[in-house]
Amino acid sequence: MRNHTHNLTFPVFSNYPVRVTFTNSIIKQARKICGPDYAAGDGQGDPAALTLSNSDGWAVMLLPHNPAPATVAHEAYHVIAALLKWIGAAQEEEVIAYHLGYLVDRILAWSKTK
């Protein structure tokens, strides 16, 4: 199955960009972003999913095709945590819950497209 990528921003947070890529090889995609020596987790092959972010203000989620909702929620939380850290905001429950729900909803819709 071919990779497919979707982008969104959070306008209320300075258009924080998030890219979501559905792929057969999480580590291969991570190495395209981070360089050929990148090793995720224990370095023993493909992780189940991965979220990358940096202090420049962006996040990338790498997911398998047709990910489990629990995997989507787990990785989406990392995106929201990175976003809040980037803007210097406290991790307030309602802000997290609202934006987490929005992101998970978008990703689950995208996961059904090919």
Tens-binned pLDDT, residue by residue, of the chain (114 aa): 899 999 999 988 889 999 999 999 999 999 998 888 887 666 566 788 999 999 899 999 999 999 999 999 999 999 999 999 999 988 889 999 999 999 999 999 998 875
Instruction: Return the structure tokens found at 12.
Output: 């209320």
Q: State the pLDDT at residue 41.
A: 63
Tokens of residue 58, six digits: 């962006």
- Model pLDDT, residue 37: 83
CB 9 within 8 A of CB 17: yes
Unique residue bearing structure tokens 């987790």:
41
Q: What is the pTM of this model?
A: 0.90
Please give the Cα distance from 102 to 74 (Å, whole number). Answer: 14
Bridge partners for 16 per DSSP? 10
Identify the sign of the CA torsion 64, 21, 110, 79: positive
